[in-house]
Every structure is written in C-alpha cells, then in structure tokens.
Structure 1
Amino acid sequence: MRFFTKRAIVIKSIIAGIVILIIKNFVFKNLSIYGQDFHDLIELSDITIIFTGAFFVFGLLLAATMSDFKESEKIPGEVAANLEAIKDWIYLAFKAPRTGTSDLCKEELNSAFLREELLFITDGIISWIYSKAKDSNVIFPLIRHSNEIAYYFAERGVDKEAIKGIQENTNAMRKQLTRAYSISRNNFIKPAYTLLQSILFIVMALLLITKFKTTAADYFVTFSITFLFCYLYLLIVGLDDPFDISNDEIDVDLKTLDRFKQRLISDFLV
C-alpha cells in the first residue's frame, strides 16, 4: 500500500494517459463530422505552439509553488531547534544559582512537571502538523503554554537568562508555526488553478482530435503529453500545501521533530 501512496502522482498520470488513449482510439475513431474523422481534425504541426505555451505557464506556476515548499522544508528543523534550546535552558535552570527568599525559591524544581510540560508541547506541535485541519485555536494556545515553564521558573527565582531564553525561543517558534499555518491555509490563488485546469482540458481535447503520421507516433505522443501535463498539474497541487501529511509523496520531512521527540522521551530529566 505504501508503494502506491509514495507514487500516487505517477500512477494517476499513467492512468490519465491510458484513458486518453482509450477514448481516442476506441471512441473518437468511430466518430466523424461531415465525413471527417474526429481523431484527424487537426494536424500536430498546427498546435505545437499551444503545447509550448502550456509548458511555459505550468513552469512558471511550478516555480512559484516551489519557493513556498523550499521555505516550508526549513520549518520543522527550526521548530525542533527551538524546542531543543528550551530543553537546554531547563537544564541550565537546574544548575544555575537561584535568587529570592520566598518559600518557592527554596524548594527543589519539579523535574517530573517540567518533563511533562515539554513533552506535552512537543506532542501537541507534532500532532497539529500531522492534522488535516491545522486549527489555529489549537496551535497558538499550545505555544503560549510553553510560557508556563517560564512562569514556573520566575516564581522560584531561577536565573533570569534561562527565563529570557525560553521566552525568546517560544517567540521564534511562534513565528515559524505561524508561517506554517499561513502556507497551509492560504492555497494558490483560485484563478491560477482555473488557468491550469483550463490548459489541461484544452491539451487533452486537442490530443483527442489531432492527426499523427503513424500509429506509433499517435500512441507515444498522446500518452507522453497527457502524462507530463497531468504529472505537472498534480505536482503543483501537492506542492501548494506541503504540510498536508496525508499526501505522503509531497510533504515536508518531519524527521527532525520526530527524532527530537525520541530524544526527549529517552533522556530528558529521566
């Protein structure tokens, strides 16, 4: 099953190419208008400029979506780095001298509480990225929850640098996840998708009524162009939401976050 999921675009494009071949050779070859066969209405040389222009437009839109995807690839690693930094600031809090004279300043830091808090935040971020909805009402309160660690330290006279470090990393993480939310929620402009779909429809329609010099050229060119345009369209759609984890073929790599969680579970304040 994973084999097909990882190659969904290729499989869908191949199926589209086969469908167009079947329609052209088993449906359109039996149809005619005023004695002219449907599959021989246009010469290939008459429409090559249309194919060239179509490829150009697809290339421009592909470049636009790739820029967002490249930015998205950095986000999981940056979030993991900020979580790692918060973990290091917590370690510092245990070692640095504490100030204050209140009873809270004299008690030992609760390592079980701090471990549970950081695990909760990490689990929540990973679950949010894997979710389909990407609900802002989930992720932003979760990020604010990391301030609970800062408040806990402030009440107990922990070194101010540790508190400041936690807050700075929290703010950096908020910016990164806000960008992920924006990329996920704001899809490519609808007129651009309408243009792509229109071009795809026109290319398929032209292939169905185009005359080729040989049967081999008919099969090869029709299948190849259908495959390429369908592949490009599906690729652009997939790249438009790189945080759609349900699409295993085109999504950002979350290994950095997953590996951080494994390290957190295995060695953080154990």
Structure 2
Amino acid sequence: MKFVLHRTIIIKSLIAALAVLGIKNFVFKNLSFYGQDFHDLIELSDITIIFTGAFFVFGLLLAATMTDFKESEKIPGEVASNLEAIKDWIYLAFRAPRTGTSDLCMEELNSTFLREEMISITNGIIDWIYSSGKDSTVIFPLIRKSNEIAYYFAERGVDKEAIKGIQENTNAMRKQLTRAYTISRNNFIKPAYILLQSILFIVMSFLLISKFKSPSADYLVTSAITFIFCYLYLLISGLDDPFDIHNGDTNVDLKPIDRFKQRLISDFLVSKPN
C-alpha cells in the first residue's frame, strides 16, 4: 500500500498512456473520415513543433512551482527548530534565578502544565499540517498558546531572557506557518491550469490521429509522449500544494516535526520516579 501511495503520479501516468494507446488501436483504427483512417490523418513529422512548444510551456510552469516547493521544504525543519528552542527556554526558566516578591513568584513552576502545553501545541501544528482544509482559525490561536507560556513565566518572575526567547521563537514560527498557509491556500493561477489542460488535450488528440512508420513506433511514441506529458501535468499540480498530505509523491517531508514530537514526549519534563 505504501509503495502505491508514494508512486501515484507514475501509476496515473501509466494508466493514461495505456488508455490512449488502447483508444487509438482499438477504437480509432476502426473509424474513418472520407475514406481516411482516423489514426492516419496527419504525419507525426508535421506536428513535432507542437510537442516542442508544449514541453517548453510545461518546463516554465514546472520551474515556477518548484520555487515554492523548495521554500516549503524548509518550513517543517524551521518550525521544529523553533519548538525545540522554546523547549530549551523553558528548561532555562527552571534553572535561572527568579525575581519578584509576589506569591506567584514564590510558587514552584508547574512542570505538568508546561509539558501538556508544549505537547498540545506540537500536536495541534502537526494535525493542522495534515488537515486538508488548513483552517486559519485553528492554527493562529494555537500559536498564541506558546505566548501564554511566556505570560505564565512573566507573572512568576522568570528570567527575562527566557521570556524574550519564547516570544521571538513564537513570532518566527508564526511567520513560517503563515507562509505554509499561503502556499497551501493560494494555488497556481487558474488560467495557467487551463493552458496546461488545453495543451495536454491537444497533444493527446494529435497522438490519436498521427501516422507512424511502423506499429512498434506507434506503440512506443504514443505511450511515451502520453506518459511524459501526463506525468508533468500531475507533477506540477502536486508541487503547487506541497502540504497536501493526500498526495504522497510531492508533499514535503514532515519528519523534523514528527521526530521533535517523539523527543518531546519521551524526555521533556518527565516526572522521575522517587
């Protein structure tokens, strides 16, 4: 099952290539137009310029989507780094001397509360990234929860550097997740997709009615060109939303955040047995 999920583009492209090949050889070879077979209406050499132009357009759009994808690849690692830094600032808060004379400044910091808050924030970010809707009303209130940790420390006279560090890392994480939200919600311009779909339709149509010098050339060229263009189209569509976890081929690697969660649960403010 995992093999299939991570190769959906290849599988879909192969199915499309076989479908076009089947339609040409089992449907179009039985059709004619004023005595001319449908699958021999034009010479392949007459339309090679169209294939060249189509590859050029697909290449330009692929380069554009790759730019956002390369930026998106950095976001999970940067978010995990900021969460790790917040965790370290919390450790500093426990060790650094505290100031103030109020009752809150005298009480012991609640390690259970801080542990649950960090796990809740981390789980919330992971769930949001894995969600299909990427709801902004969920993620931004969630990020503010890490500032609640800073407020908690400020009321209890914790070292100011720890409070400042938590707020700085929270703001950096907010920018990164805002960028992820923007990339996920704002798809490539619609006219560009219409252009790609039009080119794909034209290429497939010409392949169906093109004449080849031999049956072997017919099978190989038709299937190869169909596979390549379908693959490019699906690749561009997938790269356009790298945070779509339902597309296993082109989603960004979320291991940095998943690994951070494992470390957080295993060792962060874990109560030691007496």
User: After superposition, where does 1:10-25 map in structure 2 within 5 Å?
Assistant: 10-25=10-25
Counterpart residue identity of residue 78, structure 1: E
- Shift of residue 4, structure 1, vs aligned partner: 1.2
1:236 deviates by 0.4
**Deviation for aligned residue 1:3:** 1.5
State the shift of 1:183 in Å. 0.2
Q: Which residue pairs with 1:245 in the alignment?
A: 245
How many angstroms does 1:208 deviate by? 0.3
Amino acid aligned to 2:27: V
TM-superposed deviation, 1:217? 0.3
Q: TM-score, normalised by structure 1?
A: 0.99
* Residue aligned with 1:15, SS: helix
SS in 1 for 2:220: helix
Alpha-carbon separation, structure 2, partners of 1:249 and 1:229:
17
Q: 1:66 maps to what in 2? A: 66
AA at the equivalent of 2:197? Q
Cα separation, 1, equivalents of 2:32 and 2:101: 95
Deviation at 1:229, TM superposition (A): 0.2
Offset at residue 203 of structure 1 (A): 0.2
> Partner of 1:220 in structure 2?
220
Distance in 1 between the 2:181 and 2:3 partners? 29
Quote the Cα distance in structure 2 between the aligned partners of 1:185 and 1:57: 24
Tell me which residue corresponds to 2:133.
133
TM alignment of 1:39-54, pairs within 5 A? 39-54=39-54
Q: What amino acid does structure 2 have at the position aligned with 1:152?
A: Y
**How many residues are paired up?**
270
Structure 1 position 247, deviation (Å): 1.1
What is the CA distance between 1:159 and its match in structure 2? 0.6
Normalising by structure 2, we get a TM-score of 0.98
Residues 22-81 of structure 1: CA deviation (Å, up to 9, x unaligned) = 111111111111111111110011000000000000000000000100000000000000
SS at match of 1:246: coil
Once residues 258 and 22 of structure 1 are traced to their aligned partners in structure 2, the CA distance between those partners, rounded to angstroms, is 44
Q: Indicate yes or no: 2:254 matched with 1:254.
A: yes
**Alpha-carbon distance in 2 for matches of 1:79, 1:2:** 26
Q: In structure 1, how many angstroms separate the alpha carbons of the residues matched to 2:257 and 2:141?
A: 19
* Aligned amino acid, residue 41 of structure 2: L
SS of the residue aligned with 2:170? helix
CA RMSD of aligned residues (A): 0.5
Partner in structure 1 of residue 36 of structure 2: 36
1:146-191: CA deviation from partner (whole Å, max 9, x where unpaired): 1110010000000111000000000000000000000000000000
Match of 2:236, as an amino acid?
I
5 Å-filtered alignment, 1:177-216, equals 177-216=177-216
Structure 1 match to 2:83: 83
Alpha-carbon distance, 1:2 to partner: 1.6
1:106-117 correspondence runs (5 A):
106-117=106-117
Which residue in the other structure is 1:2 paired with?
2
* Range that drifts further, 243-252 or 193-202: 243-252
- Letter aligned with residue 135 of structure 1: D
Partner of 1:236: 236
Cα distance in 2 between the residues matched to 1:120 and 1:5: 29
Counterpart residue number, 2:147: 147
Give the unaligned 5+ runs of structure 1: none
Give the secondary structure class of the aligned counterpart of 2:218: helix
Match of 1:57 in 2: 57
Q: One-letter code of the match for 1:170?
A: T
2:161 maps to a residue whose letter is E
Partners of 1:237 and 1:54 in 2: CA distance: 16
Letter of the structure 2 residue corresponding to residue 133 of structure 1:
G
- Distance in 2, matches of 1:18 and 1:116, equals 53
The separation in 2 between residues aligned to 1:258 and 1:123, in whole angstroms, is: 9
Q: Tell me which moved more, 165-174 or 2-11.
A: 2-11
